[in-house]
Structures are given as C-alpha cells and as structure tokens.
Structure 1
Amino acid sequence: MPPPSSGSGTTTRARLWLVGALAILAFAANSLLARAALGDGAIGPGAYAAIRLGAGALVLAPLWRSASIRRDGAAGLFLATYAIAFSFAYVTLGAASGALILFATVQGVMVALGLARGEKVRASALVGVLVALAGVGWLLAPGVGAVDARAALVMGIAGLGWGLYSLVCHKGEGEAAAATAGAFAVAAVAALPLFLLGERMSVNGALLAAVSGAVTSGLGYVAWRMVAPRMSLTGVAGVQLLTPAAAGLLAWPLLGEVPGTRLTLAGLVILGGVALAMRAPLSQLKR
C-alpha cells in the first residue's frame, strides 16, 4: 500500500482551523445578540437566558438519545451558570467590555485550577493573569469610561461557568454533538424557573434569544466541542482570546458601540496579559 498522503493531514488541520473560526464567530455573535436584545430592553435577562438555552436544547433534540445525564450533567450546570449570568451582565455592559471581562476570568479559572491540582504553572502565567486583572480593574475604576462594577462581577460569574464548561469539554468525553445536546438539555431545565420572573418579552427580543440559542450557541458549541479536545489548554485559551477582539470590532458597525479610550487601552492590557499567561505550559492540565 502507498504511504498515507501528507495532504490528508493538511486537510484535517485546515478543517480544524475552519471549525475553530466558526466557533469564535459564534462566541462573538452571542455577545452582539445579547446586547441587541438586552441593551434596548426588548426582553428581560432571565427570559433571554431561558429561551436561549431552550432553543439550543431543541435544535439538538435529535441527539438526546445519545446524551448521558451522568456524563453531561455537570457540563449542563456550568453552561446554565454561564448563560444566566451572561444575560444579566449584558443588560449594562457593552459587547466588547463584557467579552473582555468574560475571557479574562476564563483564563484566570484555568490557571487557578492548575494550581489547585498541584501542577506546576510558570511565573509568566501568574504574571499574565495579574496583568489581565489589572486591566479589568482599570475598566472598573471610577471615572470616564468606567464599567458598572456589579455587572462586571456578574460577568465574572459567567466566566467561571464558561471556564469550567470549557475544561469539561476539553476532556473530550463522548461524541461532541451528543455531549453538547445533553449539556443543553440539563441547562434548559435548570433555566425554566426564570420564566417565573414575569419579565417583559417582545417578539424581537425572543427571536434574538432563539437565534442565539439555536444557531450561535447550540450549533456553535457543537463546533467548539469538536475542536477543543484536539487542542492543548493553551490553544483553547488562545483561540477564545480572539472573541473579545471580534466582538469589539463588530459591535461598532452593528450596534453603534464606539470603543472609548479607556476601553481600548484596558482591552490591550487585558489581551496582553492573557497572551502572556498562554505562554505557560497549560497543556499539562490535559490528562
């Protein structure tokens, strides 16, 4: 038999990058859709989160048979924590500032879990996280361009949920689509009580939440779970780092959210800190 062609490996890598790029666009779109719906008060944050998770679960319903509560239960609870906190935070935060806080927190979660497991983490990782947190602190400091501290704290909770969800995904347990379907089913059930809040819900707001859930969350997260297990945690963090930049660039023409001087400079500090942290051997966590 002839040796396997090197072209097949190149094709596989190209597909991996393509799926990863689609996942990042989906992540950025989630921030934009949330701001479009919540910033204008078209829907309440609780209803938005519940519809988003419900739509994601429904679009993946054909895969429920292959899901496992034992395997996907924890991921579903982490996903619900992320989605609910994400919605409440974006009532106040802009698309770019919210994404920056979210993914700075995600990076901190990954490094903190590495330390908690007793694994060696280089000083550059700790310095990078501290630099990123300093950038977040700058966003929160009083003055022109400051972001709401309470909303930032809630987005930090969302980052914790997403960081834990990403780590569960990174284990690569189960087929990607089925595992995502199971997680969404659990998360959707957990979010049902939010409808009891009796929040305002316009047709436009519900539609934006449904698109976010069915397309940029449900299908987008399937793409992410296909990619994440094939990357080191350093790679996972690096790819996700592109999300705040994409959200910020798209929020300007689509939502009219012009980045101010503080947001621009603090964003560079945060992204620089996360990039520095990525240089640490976080791939040690892949076990």
Structure 2
Amino acid sequence: MITVFGSINMDLVARVLAIAKPGETVLSRRADSFFGGKGANQAVAAARVSGGRIAVAMAGAIGDDAFGKACRDNLAANGVDVDGIRIADEPTGCAFITVDERGENAITVASGANMAVHTAQVPGEILAKTSILVLQMEVPLAENIAVARWAKQMSARVIWNAAPVPAGAEKGAVADMLAVTDLLVVNEHEAITVAAMIGDNAGGDYLVAASRLAHTYSLTCIVTAGAKGAFAVDADGTQIHAAAPPVTPVDTTGAGDTFVGVLAYGLAEGRELQDAMQRACIAASLSCLTAGAQAGMPSRDRLEATLSA
C-alpha cells in the first residue's frame, strides 16, 4: 500500500497574460476551480497509474464545508482510500493560482484544515500495510517527522517531497526529517534551499546540493529539473538521469506532484529507480497538457500507451 500524508486543497485558477508583479493588478477573464493540494494530487497520480493494482490511501484534513466534501468525494472517485481523512475546525485549504500564457504559474496557499493534520489520525491498520509513505510540506513539519518515524518502524520507505520549502523552518527539524527520509524529491531551487537550511552552501549548483544531502543523510536525492528531466544522486555519489519528453505545456501546475505519485507507485510495484523515474518523467510531461493540477494526470492505460509509442 502507498500512504500519502499531506494536504488537501481546492485550487482556484486564473489565466493571465503575465503573472502580477508586487503592487500590480492584472485581469483574467474567469477563475476556474480544480481539486488540488500536494498530498491529494500525489495520491490521485499514484492511484490513476495503479488502476487498483496497489492500494493508495490518503491521510489529511478538510473543513466541514462544500469544498471539503467535494475534495473527499473526488479522492474516493479516483480510487483513493479516504478513511484517514478527518474533519477539522478550520476551512478546507484553498490555493490561488495564476497561470501565464507560457504555462508558468504562481501559487498562494491558504492552509486552513491542513494545519490541523495529526499523525494520530492515520489508521494503524493502514500504516501496517504501507510499503511507501509519501510526505510533502503543506502540513506541519513536526507531524511529518512523527509519521515518518512511525513508518520507518514499520519498515516502510519514506519519500519526502520537500515542497514548498517552509520559510523559517529550524535547521534541527529539517535535519530530523532528512534523517528518516529514504528518497528526497526536490526541484532545482528546493535542492539548494534545503542544503542551505542545514548549513551547506552548494554555490548555486543543484546537483552539488543533491550530492551533499544524499551523502550527509544516507538517502537518495532526486532533483526534478523541468524539461531537463530528473536527476538522482545516491549516498555513494552515483548519479542517474531520466529524460523528459518534449511538450508544449498548457499548465505546469501539478507536474511535480504527478512525478512524485507515479514514482511512488513505480517503486511500490518493485521497479528499479531508473525505470520508476523515467515513467514519472513521462507522466509529469503528460500532465502539463491539460489545465488543472489533477485533470491531466494520466491513467495507467494512457501512460502505457505513451511508453509503447
């Protein structure tokens, strides 16, 4: 089983010619709503490529409101086990996203119920079956650390997507999280930032940052680099590269989450890291062809058809 412990949001998306600069107002013709939250996105991505072959469970929190009910129903409709989702006293998380004509995005997240997520809400019977635990940074870091330690005691592998990197996170807490991480997934900027947070200046080179993080904490650091694909660095310095197929993106929102979810599924079904990364890169590229974080996430059939082609 893959268990995703993390955020559940409703995304409100506006398309603009250019993303607003500080103090600037830009106009958009309309705003559309999409299901999101990095945790929910990663759970949906994993469940879609699984097609029911491996169970995917979501543990998170929603508000007692229409957005929360819709988000829970959407996860269930995508084949995700929702027994670990609880109702909090805060409103359901909401993300405000602007997407420019090149497909680039800027995102502001109102966390709401996501800050009320607790390790204790994860059903013990679910964690006992978990082979892969997936974490992100849209819920309290202390809860991530606690559930990761619990999962490690149960012999699960921990994938930590350190995104978004929290401003002001304490060095000790970040180090504690890295100590219970098997695979750290970051983009180029996040790799450098996380390395700096634990006192390692990588000189602006994300592969140097990845190498030092991997060596210091005996983990595998995977850096997603957009059109350049993804790079993995092991603790012994071994590097792996997976290429990304060229696409003309409509919306890059959710591409990183697609990568993480499909990577988690690939590892859960026993694939080698190179193969799992390659499939994740292709899935992430496919997700960029449709607006919305989850809308373009490929099914198992679509991913297999693309691989065959």
Q: TM-score range by the shorter chain?
A: under 0.3
The one of the two structures with greater contact order (alpha-carbon pairs below 8 A, sep at least 6) is: 1
TM-score by length of 2: 0.26
The alignment's TM-score, normalised by the length of structure 1, stands at 0.28
